[in-house]
Structure 1
Amino acid sequence: MSTFHIRLGWGPTGNVFWASESTCHCLAKLCTIILFIQAMNFLAAAQNSTSGLQLHIRDKEVVVENGILQMTLSKPGGVVTGLQYNGVDNLLEVLNEAPNRGYWDLVWTAPGITRKKGAFDRIEGTNFSVIVETEDQIELSFTRMWDPSLEGKLVPLNIDIRFVMLRNSSGFYTYAIYEHLKEWPAFNLTNTRTVFKLRKEKFHYMAISDKRQRYMPLPDDRLQGRGQALAYPEAVLLVNPVEPQFKGEVDDKYLYSIENKDNRVHGWISTEPPVGFWQITPSHEFKSGGPFKQCLTSHVGPTTLAIFHSTHYSGAELIIEFKPSEPWKKVLGPIFIYLNSLVTEDDPLQQLWEDAKQQMETEVQSWPYDFPSSEDFLSSDQRGTVTGRLLVRDGYISTEDIFGNGTLVGLAAPGDAGSWQLECKGYQFWTKANEKGFFSISGIRPGIYNVYAWVPGFVGDYRHDAEVTITPGCNVDVGTLVYEPPRSGPTFWEIGIPDRTAAEFYIPDPNPNHINKLYVNHTDRFRQYGLWERYAELYPYNDLVYTVGVNDYRKDIYFAQVTRKTGNNTYQGSTWQIRFTLDTVGKNNTYTLRIALATAHVSELQVRINDLEASNPLFSTGQIGNDNTIARHGIHGLYRLYSVDIPGAQLLEGNNTIFLTRALSISPFQGIMYDYIRLEGPASSNNESLGSSSWGYK
């Protein structure tokens, strides 16, 4: 079979690979499909847009159309009540009341008010205005202004929600500007998002990524008699679903969470007629918590979400607290709602998904957009660029600096190393360094930032000490940055992979009565309900014991150290053991235990050395974490790194044991997940005099 030389990419050094003739034919077919879909959308636009954009303003609604789609919004509320496209009179759920179809919302609290989840506010404007009306663009504004008479009743924010429709565009954009003025009272913001609820009789197929898409159950299946509530309120066992194929499955919206860095396009597909409804996020600069922050995407309804800020997988530490008289303004979005359709029935699911991904690439390349008319959204010429290179220096691994290949490098508000994962008020800008460690971040809003980084394979977080000031049009070269990860001495042994997750550890099969079929034989094995219960089944009487040099962490370290149920609503903690051997010990020296946690939820981790009965642990984290990752089927929450100094006098020549006790146990959802554990010897050129393991150094 012949082989072709193919060049991919449009940069100065495109990627090159060798492909078989059959592979090339498949690629050609895929490109043809995408071009065909785009051509059909373009032809539909050309046939229907002879009159260009149209705006109809009525007493209680506003209708905007471009010949491809028609959008109806409440006036002056700004709720999307109707979307007409491809012969369907309304893609949104017509069974819902009009305000419960397409909207922005938030959750907030005033200081001193104790609500479990805060006050829910489905945002509706009190004033409507047309910002732009030309043959190429219509931009609408729905505002709700705050004044002191509303204190305690509404969140103290001025809110301006915008909708934009462009000529010949198969979709629309939405963004918002939130503003808190200096003289206004304090408040806390827990969550804010956009929500679109689609027609349940049409949209049955959901797609989040290439490997995470499926036909979904109906919202009716969660009702009493069809669904059985499980231990966590969002989780329901489908016992008598409308479609029998879903019987025995668990439905839970948290099964479809995703990290910000991977959340570019997701949505739903109707097969009759073949129509896709997609939410495209061209940038993550306006999302809180950085690239690893996890958010919901979609769930039964069918519902699609754009989460701009939430406390999921992080807890109260990500509540945005505004002090009295603290000025603040932020632009959230725009995001793009993209609609596509087919005129053929040849694998519509795949075709519509591939076309949505192609449109996503177009939107990403167009960022920052040049059409939003708000002066608060900055165009490319009002932004700056930062370039540089990042190297890693660890003399116990290499005598030369190591290229920061795959490093995530970002700009966020000034703070401590790693503070970006808690930063929510400002903007963040991230990129991935190339194989030589070079990086370039463009489209940065003016302001003062620190440069942060996280390097796969190394513990800890990097922060460049010098602050970076961005001005319009600037190009700042920060030069070569060198990250020296925490290290006291040579590695005696290590467990896991420092990647900020617990994915490499043992993840059991789910209870066969509590499965989600999407994740059977899937790389994301952790996205199953009830895995916290499997630990006690595997270790019914004694806790986990891991012997370094004998056991394999991929098979013998459970992915989460959780509670064990001992009775009716009673639970107990657990103590894991790490056993290892030292040939010699430097009694006057200090050894270091590095413990990187991928997540924690209402737990205390205590460390003891060679004496489980010691009344006081050598080290304790104290109570940490409200990530709730275990219940929400995640593999990480907030990253935490601890360094424990071990006096050589507490170590033995021969066999040693580290006891890891996870205390505080009142619910099945408490626990921690380890990212990585490493024992380091003292720093010295003469290792043998200070202590060595029987299997040597690394």
Structure 2
Amino acid sequence: MAISDERQRIMPMPVDRETGKVLDYKEAVLLTNPTNPDLTGEVDDKYFYANDNKDDRVHGWVGADPPVGFWMIIPSDEFRTGGPYKQDLTTHVGPTVLSVFVSRHYAGDDLVIKFQQGEPWKKVIGPVFLYLNSNASALDDPTVLWDDAKKRMNQEVASWPYDFPVSEDYIKSNQRGTVTGQLFVNDSTTTLVPASNSYIGLAPPGDVGSWQRENKGYQFWTKADACGNFAIEKVIPGTYNLYATVPGTIGDYIYTSDVEVTPGCTIGLGSMVYNPPRNGATLWEIGVPDRTAAEFFIPTPPTQFNAHVYQNNSETIFRQYGLWEQYSVLYPENDLIYNVGTSNYSKDW
């Protein structure tokens, strides 16, 4: 199974879950007598393989005999809900391959689509691309098929939106528009700072951060360059707000005016400035506001569970089963105390 260049592994069989021990929730099963003895003591949990929308373009499986790959390729996020940081499931034991369009995973009721009596609604979801490949050399090196799947993924992304759908509700490339601009941050300094590597997107009109809860319309996101320049391409005509989230800067940006995208248009918004919420000079802070929490201390999993083969991967170490139990192990008598000025959040928080 492969989700990224680092998140790849041999997976258990369905029968291994049946013979295993269910843990604190039904999705987590301790493998006690797996078909592959190397997996004994591991915890299988489908949530371990979740991914952010922005990072999920291709995932799938490679079978050993014959060496065949089966891949789910998602060329666009425009029809997904919750924005680029929304997490969802990718694959799990089965072998199962998913393409989740709408779900409440990691979000709850806010992302459940709700309708009023008589409310009209129409949305084109997909298409997604199922890709099968085969190569005899994959018998010794399964990553051959993964690398090929990534190449095909890049082709499909470049081909989006597709030309073949005949539905008039599916908007073709020449009927879409482009929005460009440059974003700066003004955080109580005399010099504007480019909003480098920020995620900037168009989503249905709302308030600050509403794109995270939006679930009925389309969203179009891109990543700004080092100078804060961005181009959001292939946008379906409609009325949008422009939103942004800037790594290292608290809060969320929203452009004050609606953006009206029409077929074939190119809209230049020029330079925009985000003024983060601030009531004075920073006295102290913990961590980095980049929506990952990767900088904080993550304990080792409980010793009774064998960790996954890529447990040191920063993408996934926080997903290990049972980490919450380690708090009482680390602090058996008194709660954690964080001393401002002397404590280090990478070790002490």
Q: TM-score range by the shorter chain?
A: over 0.9
Alignment of 1:291 with 2:84, yes or no, is: yes
Provide the C-alpha distance between the structure 2 equivalents of 1:521 and 1:404, rounded to a whole number of angstroms. Answer: 30
Structure 2 counterpart of 1:176: none
Shift of 1:292: 0.3
**CA deviation vs aligned residue, 1:231-285 (integer Å, no higher than 9, x gap):** 1111000111122111100001000000000000000001211111000000000
Structure 2 counterpart of 1:90: none
Alignment of 1:207 with 2:6, yes or no, is: no
Provide the C-alpha distance between the structure 2 equivalents of 1:491 and 1:437, rounded to a whole number of angstroms. Answer: 24
Structure 1 counterpart of 2:346: 554
Alignment of 1:471 with 2:273, yes or no, is: no
Structure 2 counterpart of 1:39: none
Unpaired segments ≥5 residues, structure 1 = 1-205, 558-698
Label 1:410 to 1:345 Cα distance change in 2 as closer, same or farther (>3 A).
closer
Say if 2:68 and 2:135, in contact at 8 Å, map to a contact too: yes
Deviating more after overlay: 329-338 vs 514-523: 514-523
Map 1:619-634 → 2, pairs under 5 A: none
TM value normalised by structure 1: 0.49
4+ long deviations beyond 4 Å: none
Unpaired segments ≥5 residues, structure 2 = none
Alignment of 1:484 with 2:275, yes or no, is: yes
Structure 2 counterpart of 1:504: 295
Report the 3-state secondary structure (helix = DSSP H, G, I; strand = E; otherwise coil) of the residue aligned with 1:387.
Answer: strand
Which one-letter code corresponds to 2:344 in the other structure? D
Structure 1 counterpart of 2:56: 263
- Pairing partner for 1:353 from 143, 146, 149: 146
Map 1:134-173 → 2, pairs under 5 A: none
Report the 3-state secondary structure (helix = DSSP H, G, I; strand = E; otherwise coil) of the residue aligned with 2:110.
Answer: helix
- Pairing partner for 1:410 from 188, 201, 210: 201
Say if 1:515 and 1:529, in contact at 8 Å, map to a contact too: no
**CA deviation vs aligned residue, 1:460-504 (integer Å, no higher than 9, x gap):** 000001001111111111111110001111111111111123221
Map 1:67-466 → 2, pairs under 5 A: 206-223=1-18, 226-345=19-138, 347-395=140-188, 398-466=189-257
Say if 1:515 and 1:528, in contact at 8 Å, map to a contact too: no
**CA deviation vs aligned residue, 1:164-187 (integer Å, no higher than 9, x gap):** xxxxxxxxxxxxxxxxxxxxxxxx
Provide the C-alpha distance between the structure 2 equivalents of 1:546 and 1:355, rounded to a whole number of angstroms. Answer: 48
Shift of 1:535: 0.4
Provide the C-alpha distance between the structure 2 equivalents of 1:360 and 1:283, rounded to a whole number of angstroms. Answer: 11
Quick one: percent identity of the two aligned structures?
Answer: 58
Shift of 1:308: 0.1
Q: Considering only CA atoms, is the larger Rg found in Structure 1 or Structure 2?
A: 1
Structure 1 counterpart of 2:304: 513
Say if 1:275 and 1:339, in contact at 8 Å, map to a contact too: yes
**CA deviation vs aligned residue, 1:145-204 (integer Å, no higher than 9, x gap):** xxxxxxxxxxxxxxxxxxxxxxxxxxxxxxxxxxxxxxxxxxxxxxxxxxxxxxxxxxxx
Which one-letter code corresponds to 2:341 in the other structure? G
Provide the C-alpha distance between the structure 2 equivalents of 1:522 and 1:475, rounded to a whole number of angstroms. Answer: 41
Provide the C-alpha distance between the structure 2 equivalents of 1:266 and 1:369, rounded to a whole number of angstroms. Answer: 20
Structure 2 counterpart of 1:61: none
Which one-letter code corresponds to 2:14 in the other structure? P
Shift of 1:374: 1.1
Shift of 1:347: 4.0
* Length, aligned pairs only: 348
TM value normalised by structure 2: 0.98
Say if 1:251 and 1:516, in contact at 8 Å, map to a contact too: no
Report the 3-state secondary structure (helix = DSSP H, G, I; strand = E; otherwise coil) of the residue aligned with 2:68.
Answer: strand
Label 1:469 to 1:485 Cα distance change in 2 as closer, same or farther (>3 A).
same
Which one-letter code corresponds to 1:514 in the other structure? F
Label 1:345 to 1:277 Cα distance change in 2 as closer, same or farther (>3 A).
closer
Structure 2 counterpart of 1:539: 331
Which one-letter code corresponds to 1:378 in the other structure? I
Shift of 1:389: 0.6
Say if 1:519 and 1:528, in contact at 8 Å, map to a contact too: no
Higher relative contact order, structure no. (Cα contacts within 8 Å, ≥ 6 residues apart): 2
Say if 1:271 and 1:348, in contact at 8 Å, map to a contact too: no
Say if 2:6 and 2:310, in contact at 8 Å, map to a contact too: no
Provide the C-alpha distance between the structure 2 equivalents of 1:345 and 1:207, rounded to a whole number of angstroms. Answer: 14
Provide the C-alpha distance between the structure 2 equivalents of 1:512 and 1:301, rounded to a whole number of angstroms. Answer: 27
Label 1:459 to 1:306 Cα distance change in 2 as closer, same or farther (>3 A).
same
Say if 2:41 and 2:304, in contact at 8 Å, map to a contact too: yes
Report the 3-state secondary structure (helix = DSSP H, G, I; strand = E; otherwise coil) of the residue aligned with 2:324.
Answer: helix
- Pairing partner for 2:319 from 498, 504, 527: 527
Provide the C-alpha distance between the structure 2 equivalents of 1:337 and 1:345, rounded to a whole number of angstroms. Answer: 19
Please tell me the root mean square deviation across aligned C-alpha atoms, in Å: 1.1
Structure 2 counterpart of 1:695: none
Shift of 1:330: 0.6
Provide the C-alpha distance between the structure 2 equivalents of 1:353 and 1:261, rounded to a whole number of angstroms. Answer: 19
Which one-letter code corresponds to 2:219 in the other structure? Q
Shift of 1:436: 0.7
**CA deviation vs aligned residue, 1:6-43 (integer Å, no higher than 9, x gap):** xxxxxxxxxxxxxxxxxxxxxxxxxxxxxxxxxxxxxx
Shift of 1:541: 1.3
